[in-house]
Homo-oligomer: A and B are copies of this chain.
């Protein structure tokens, strides 16, 4: 049995994307449960673009993670010892277990998982916050109607890939913007997007005019920057731009406002910000619907699972900003 617990702690406050020297790998004894507590052996860790906003000092949304603290993240794992009445050894669980191999918990915020209903990684994929962000962002914030033309940036990412698929399920036309032929092939051939635009090799404006000649009804934006500016010139009347994120803008030196924002006037369009956690009361209903679509094969959740365990975390996070991964980025913990 593994006698030690490896952890990744924040060692310095990075500006922009952190480098390995911003992290410290520490070793502790595997924790022992106190009264009413249990221990989880983490199996998969979530790696998310929003982590930059948790560690950079510039965010106003969240209290930044303290220097020396174990890095936050959502994870799934299995209970290995327990003094908690509701959690038994062998239970599969989901929680904010942080970037470490073993977590001690009193059960607060922890949910039990059914590994027969969906594979464990999917609980960090389409059934987790990224899938829920796509769900509420497209349906509630974006208010799509059948026949709408929906454009998704970061379309091969964890949120974007689900957003486009939900649009298709609801009878919309889905156009994805992604980087590189592999991602473009995946979203059209495997996920059923109507069209893909490779922003690395194509003129996005020209491609949009071709694929969305009547304009864009919903732009679900995960990227920001130049792509947002281009889509702003192609809005249909009454269009909604849902700000799901802005992966190109999380590093302060890159922040750039959309210079074409006045196009919102002529299009009678809205740019709308939202936070998924506002919909927490409806997570169970949304998860049930997402799970049903997964079972029916109408929704595909792809997890990009990296090996290497907790020590590989510092190298994993930058992949999100280099556009290297397809689907939800996870780290397997052996």
Contact = CB atoms under 8 A, between A and B. Distances in A.
Interface string A79-107: 00000000000000000000000000000
Interface range on chain A (Cβ under 8 Å from partner): 20 to 34
B257 A266 contact: no
A60 B249 CA distance: 28
B259 A259 contact: no
Contacts of A233: 60
A269 B273 contact: yes
A230 to B, nearest CB: 13
B272 A264 contact: yes
Nearest to A61: B266
A183 to B, nearest CB: 24
Contacts of A60: 233, 263, 266
Contacts of A246: 262
Contact of A266 (B260, B271, B275): B275
Given A271-B271, A274-B268, A259 B256 contact: yes
Nearest to A239: B273
Contact of A270 (B224, B249, B270, B278): B270
A60 B229 CA distance: 15
A258 interface: yes
Given A266-B61, A269-B273, A271-B270, A259 B257 contact: yes
Interface in A242-259: 243, 245-246, 249, 255-259
A321 interface: no
How many chain copies?
A: 2
A265 B273 contact: yes
A257 B269 CA distance: 16
Contacts of A12: none
A267 interface: yes
Contact of A256 (B257, B265, B274): B257
Interface string A52-79: 0000000011000000000000000000
Nearest to A241: B271
Contact of A271 (B261, B267, B278): B261
Given A270-B271, A271-B271, A224 B262 contact: yes
Contacts of A243: 261-262, 264-265
Contacts of A271: 261, 264, 270-272
Interface string A275-286: 100100000000
Given A256-B257, A257-B229, A257-B256, A262 B275 contact: no
Contacts of A267: 273
10 contacts: A60-B266, A61-B265, A257-B259, A257-B260, A258-B261, A265-B274, A265-B275, A266-B275, A270-B272, A270-B273
Q: Which 7 A-B pairs have the closest CB atoms?
A: A257-B257, A264-B273, A265-B273, A257-B259, A257-B258, A271-B271, A61-B266
